Structure 1
């Protein structure tokens, strides 16, 4: 009987953990960051897709997933592959602002929407 209660508590804890983990970010949905953004200073591009993936198109590319932090102008962009994640430091957590068709991604640069 004690073993059964122990298993129930473990399962409940796992479900609670999953709920808390998934509540940390905003769904990508119809965010204004979705689209292709070209660097103002160079030839690199950021592509933010509706499915929550991103691509950094440059001579050292990178890609990963993205989530906007709820209640903040902060984007979480864990890198999954590519040299650009280390060379250009595009992966990670960045503050951002969008003014019209301009995206300022803190620590990465300024981009214009195509």
Structure 2
């Protein structure tokens, strides 16, 4: 049985994820160009405001004590990519469950007003 060399693949993903390499860029579709013109973003993207690795760690990679937990399923690819980020960038005690918890909480906080408006429709 042939073993898969994941270290090279993980390093390539991490380099691309952290912006150390320039991934190929596709031409925007007509639909996405139209959508960009139609709406102006209300907030600065999380990527733009996170600034530094230390800020990213403090936001997403601090261990959280999860009580009253529930299972959440991810595709294998997503789980492996997220786990790579946690292992490579997180300090001792960082784990995938805390990472996902913090990402979901940040998303829900960022979109709280819109979600409330949409819920009322």
Normalised to the residue count of structure 2, the TM-score between the two structures is 0.26
Bigger strand fraction: 1
Normalised to the residue count of structure 1, the TM-score between the two structures is 0.27
Give the number of the structure with larger relative contact order, counting CA–CA contacts within 8 Å between residues 6 or more apart.
2
